[in-house]
């Protein structure tokens, strides 16, 4: 990934690293059957090489990824329109991957939020609702 991700010691690379580490939401854009971009806000986890997203079984994005795996991840900019980061890459549906509650880093990032969405339910309630694992491999990063 070193050739795709910007050097974190540069200002742009530091900004990209901060978005990947700290942002709660990223816009995942898949492509529908008619060629129309389909952006959706999703929770995500950067593992240093790929982006992990959990999806509901009935989400159209799953079909989009299977048929057209090229996707984009767009991070929200700051108020003045700066801090723009767009990552394009290829997504796959990963069969047999650990569910959300089995990924400690994911639970550290989203466990409290998942508990708010599924109050008074077991820790795996979110994982049961969002069992489809989408893994995105970055191919290009741009922004300013």
Residues of the chain with pLDDT under 50: 1
Domain count, the chain: 1
Q: What is the pLDDT of residue 36?
A: 96
CATH of the domain at 34: 2.30.110.10
How many other CB atoms are there within 10 angstroms of residue 62's CB atom? 17
Q: What is the pLDDT of residue 144?
A: 87
**Residue 82 structure tokens:** 């700066």
How far from the centroid of its chain's Cα atoms is residue 144's Cα?
20
Q: Is residue 2 part of a domain?
A: no
3 state DSSP class of 37: strand
Domain that holds residue 21: 11-98+129-143
Q: Is residue 105 part of a domain?
A: no
Q: What is the pLDDT of residue 1?
A: 45
Q: Is residue 117 part of a domain?
A: no
Q: Is residue 103 part of a domain?
A: no
Q: Is residue 94 part of a domain?
A: yes
Q: Is residue 71 part of a domain?
A: yes
Q: Is residue 116 part of a domain?
A: no
How many other CB atoms are there within 10 angstroms of residue 8's CB atom? 13
Q: Is residue 122 part of a domain?
A: no
3 state DSSP class of 123: coil
pLDDT tens figures, 59-93: 999 999 999 999 999 998 776 667 899 999 999 99
As a whole number of angstroms, the distance between CA 76 and CA 121 comes to 31
3 state DSSP class of 63: helix
Which single residue is written with the structure tokens 């089995």? Answer: 102
Indicate the pTM of the whole model.
0.92
As a whole number of angstroms, the distance between CA 40 and CA 25 comes to 10
């Amino acid at each position: 990934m070193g050739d795709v991700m910007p050097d974190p010691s540069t200002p742009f690379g530091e900004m990209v690293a901060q978005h990947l580490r700290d942002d709660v939401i990223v816009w995942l854009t898949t492509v529908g059957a008619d060629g129309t971009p389909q952006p959706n806000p999703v929770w995500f986890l950067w593992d240093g090489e790929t982006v992990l997203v959990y999806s509901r079984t009935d989400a159209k994005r799953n079909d989009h990824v299977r048929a057209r795996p090229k996707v984009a991840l767009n991070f929200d900019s700051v108020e003045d329109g700066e801090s723009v980061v767009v990552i394009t890459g290829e997504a796959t549906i990963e069969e047999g991957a650990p569910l959300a509650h089995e990924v400690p880093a994911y639970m550290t990032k989203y466990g409290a939020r998942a508990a708010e969405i599924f109050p008074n339910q077991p820790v795996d309630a979110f994982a049961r609702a969002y069992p489809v694992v989408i893994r995105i491999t970055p191919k290009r990063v741009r922004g300013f």
